[in-house]
Every structure is written in C-alpha cells, then in structure tokens.
C-alpha cells in the first residue's frame, strides 16, 4: 500500500464504541453539495442514535465537514474519484479493503456509481454484506449507449454481490431489472425525503414571477434548454439559477447571447436555499436524466408549483396538472408552453403549489425516507444474523 493510501486509512477520526449496535460503513465518491450527499447526511443524522456509522468519501468537502460536526467518523480516501483510472481505482480498492478490515462493519452501504462498484467489490473481498443505493443508474434512459456498454457489465457483476438494492423510484427499479443488474427480490423502493423547514412560498403573489432552478451546472442537468425556452417568452420574469459546476461558462455565454442578462441571476452555491425558494413563485428542473431529485421535493416542501422534465422518477413526485407540469425530454416548445402557462396564471400557481405541499407532507418527509431505509437494514440484519438497528423515533 502506498503512503498516500496508508494516510487515507489511518489518520481519520478514531473509532467510536458502538455498544453492540449495527455498524455500517457508508461509501460515496464525492462530498460536494448535491442530492446524494444531502441524502447521506440526512440518513446518517437521522439514524445515528440507532446505528453506528462510519463514512468513506473521496474528498474533504461539504459532506465530510458536516459529518464531523455530528461526531461521525469520516475516512477520506483521495484515490476514490469519479474519473476512470486503473491506477487510482486499484489504489482505492486496496484502501477500501484496508478500511473495512479496520472498521469491521457489519454492512457496507454504497452510494454513487464509482463508490458503488469499488465499495461492493471490497465488501465482497472482505466477506461483508453490501447494500447499494442507486440514486440514478449510470445506464438510465437518456444516457449514451457508449457509456451504457461499459457500465452494465460492471454493474451486473457488482449486483451479484449485493444483498439489497435501495432504489429511489419505481422508474429506477424498472431500469435496473430490465438490464438484469438487479433482481426484483433484491430491490426495495425507498423514495427520497427531505427535512421540513419553516419557510413557505406565496406562488400566487402578484408581480413579475420569480422562477428558480437549483442544480449542479453539469450533465445531466440542462439549464441551457431552460434558457432557450425562456428566451422565447415575452413577459416579465426573473430566473434564478442556484448552483455551480463545469458548465457555468457555457451558461453565462448563453445568458448573454440570448439577451437574458437583465432577467437571469446566477447565484452560485447558496446556503439559504429554503429562503430563496420561499421568495420564488415557480420552480423548474430541466434535465436529461434523473433518479428522484431532492430539489423537486424541496420546492414542493416550500409550496411551489414545479415545471420539470419527465425523466426518471420525477413523475412519481410531480403529478402533471396536480402539483406541477411535466415536459418531455429535450422538448423546448413544450417547456416554453408550460412555463408561459404558469408565468401568466398566478391562481394556478397557488393551487398547484398547495397540492405540492400536501404531497410532500404525506409522502416525502425525511421521516418516511429514514424509516424505509431502517426497514431495509432490519431485514438484512435478520437474514444475516447481524445486530438489529435499535428502534426509536426518527
């Protein structure tokens, strides 16, 4: 093992006594702010009193910092990166095996594609059962076939060594079983959920509407399509794009070229997203592929109507004509029509937003997600003869 790998494994937070609790090692590739990272943070925060967690992540960013504030042991593995590299990937695999030997988890729970492959391979090598949460498959509809051809064989192999799959939508269950990466008997559907906040929107308020999109500026998100659709609307509005990423220069150029400089605000990564949503009238999420996006749930939590691409599991959250409007992938004209309809009808915005808030309360709170995940842990623990997660209020 190289010095870099040894440092990654041996200099992290000391092991916390678990008192006989189920011990879970969570593995995720990157710690930047994003849906999967927020999901992991909410999961660990919500179940830490009932399960002992360790978290392995490829960088020392948002997720690591937040977990340390909770007192959760964090293990930064610098070789665990999103990019494909035989040298780094083999090093990350060795580091994960060493970490598993050190932490001695009862279960390895992986999130994201690269961590999912390497984490499950390492768990198999160390004889530890694995759970994988598929936030969105690397071979989902909308992904290029070239990428699918590389991803499917690896995912199928890792799937043979996976005790349970947690998928965040029925759409993901269908894709995973269609490509024979997962069997129905392995799969449990646990919709994402988000913690409640006090901020609420007034989507039916008068005045030029404020549209908001919260997303990383990188594929599969497609804010360029949103900009093109809005450029064809001759009505007063403001669009706020919250997030950052490698596509930001292209987005800035498009704002200038489309003559939208006076109507579009690029706000970057923000810590006050609930307040920004509360001061909005309409939420948009335009994308080529999704699992079950947290941003949509956060908008519904605020009481905002949603205009979104009908991809992945989005339709399992957004009811077309009930809590928002769905648009086909890459449909610029359809997107423009949906946006124009809600920009011009504040009564409809209010009706859809209120229905979205009710749907959030009934189905998409963090408590629903936590209890669904705890049930998967309980089921696996019973099957494998492992300590049961402690029961308690989530």
Six-digit token pair at 151? 């991803």
Residue 297 contacts residue 364 (beta carbons within 8 Å): yes
Residue 14: DSSP 8-state: P
Residues in the chain predicted with pLDDT less than 70, given as ranges, are 1-19, 392-394
SS3 annotation, 271-324: CCHHHHHHCCCEEEECECCCCCCHHHHHHHHHCCCEEEECCCCHHHCCCECCCE
pLDDT at 19: 56
Residue 339 contacts residue 284 (beta carbons within 8 Å): yes
Cα gap 307→16, rounded to integer Å: 45
pLDDT at 82: 87
Residue 72 contacts residue 44 (beta carbons within 8 Å): yes
pLDDT at 116: 96
Residue 366 contacts residue 42 (beta carbons within 8 Å): yes
Contacts of 39 (CB under 8 A, 6+ apart): 111, 133, 135, 192, 294, 369
User: Considering only CA atoms, which of 302, 304, 272, 298 is closest in space to residue 199?
Assistant: 302
Residue 124 contacts residue 311 (beta carbons within 8 Å): no
Cα gap 315→191, rounded to integer Å: 12
210-363 classified as CATH 3.40.190.10: no
pLDDT at 393: 53
Cα gap 279→179, rounded to integer Å: 43
* 3 state SS of 345: coil
3-194+366-384 classified as CATH 2.60.40.10: no
**Alpha helices (H) in 12-61, listed in sequence order:** 35-47
Six-digit token pair at 381? 């623990």
210-363 matches 3-194+366-384 in CATH topology: yes
* Residues forming a β-bridge with 212: 240, 283
247 phi/psi in degrees, rounded to 5: -85, 5
Six-digit token pair at 216? 């990383």
Six-digit token pair at 118? 């390497």
pLDDT at 18: 53
User: Considering only CA atoms, which of 1, 8, 46 is closest in space to residue 27?
Assistant: 8
Cα gap 282→204, rounded to integer Å: 9
> What pTM value is reported for the model?
0.87
DSSP-based helix, strand, coil % in the chain, nearest 5: 45, 15, 40
Domains of the chain, residue spans:
3-194+366-384, 210-363
Residue 128 contacts residue 166 (beta carbons within 8 Å): no
Contacts of 344 (CB under 8 A, 6+ apart): 235
Report the chain's C-alpha Rg in angstroms: 21
**Cα–Cα distances in angstroms (integers) from residue 41 to residues 12, 34, 114, 264, 303, in the given order:** 18, 11, 19, 31, 24
* 3 state SS of 143: coil
69-92 exposure pattern, b = at least 16 Cβ within 10 A, e = fewer? eeebbbbbbbbbbeeeeeebbebb
pLDDT at 85: 85
């Amino acid at each position: 093992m190289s010095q870099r790998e040894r440092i990654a494994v041996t200099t992290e937070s000391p092991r916390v006594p678990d008192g006989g609790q189920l011990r879970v090692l969570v593995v995720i590739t990157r710690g930047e702010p994003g849906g999967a990272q927020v999901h992991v943070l909410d999961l660990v925060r919500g179940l830490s009193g009932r399960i002992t967690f360790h978290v392995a992540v490829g960088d020392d960013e948002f997720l690591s910092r937040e977990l340390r504030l909770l007192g959760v042991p964090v293990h930064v593995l610098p070789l665990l990166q999103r990019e494909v590299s035989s040298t780094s990937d083999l090093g990350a695999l060795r580091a994960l095996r060493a970490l598993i030997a050190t932490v001695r988890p009862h279960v390895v729970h992986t999130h994201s594609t690269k961590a999912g492959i390497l984490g499950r391979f390492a768990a198999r090598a160390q004889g530890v059962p694995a759970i994988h949460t598929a936030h969105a498959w690397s071979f989902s509809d909308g992904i290029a076939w070239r990428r699918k051809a590389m991803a499917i064989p690896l995912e199928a192999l890792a799937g043979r060594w996976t005790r349970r799959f947690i998928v965040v939508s029925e759409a993901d269950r269908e894709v995973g079983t269609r490509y024979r990466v997962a069997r129905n008997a392995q799969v449990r559907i646990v919709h994402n959920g988000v913690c409640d906040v006090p901020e609420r929107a007034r989507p039916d308020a008068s005045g030029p509407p404020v549209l908001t999109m919260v997303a990383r500026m990188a594929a599969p998100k497609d804010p360029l399509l949103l900009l093109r659709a809005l450029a064809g609307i001759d009505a007063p509005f403001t669009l706020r794009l919250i997030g950052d990423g490698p596509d930001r220069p292209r987005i800035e150029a498009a704002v200038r070229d489309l003559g939208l400089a006076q109507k579009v605000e690029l706000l970057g990564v923000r810590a006050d997203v609930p307040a920004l949503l509360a001061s909005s009238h309409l939420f948009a999420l335009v994308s080529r592929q999704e699992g079950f996006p947290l941003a949509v749930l956060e908008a519904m939590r605020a009481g905002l109507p949603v205009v979104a691409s009908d991809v992945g599991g989005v339709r399992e959250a957004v009811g077309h004509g009930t809590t928002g409007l769905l648009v086909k992938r890459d449909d610029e004209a359809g997107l423009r029509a949906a946006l124009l309809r809600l920009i011009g009808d504040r009564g409809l915005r209010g009706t859809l937003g209120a229905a979205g808030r009710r749907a959030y309360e009934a189905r998409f709170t963090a408590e629903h997600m936590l209890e669904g995940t705890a049930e998967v842990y309980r089921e696996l623990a019973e099957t494998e003869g492992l300590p049961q997660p402690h029961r308690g209020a989530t």
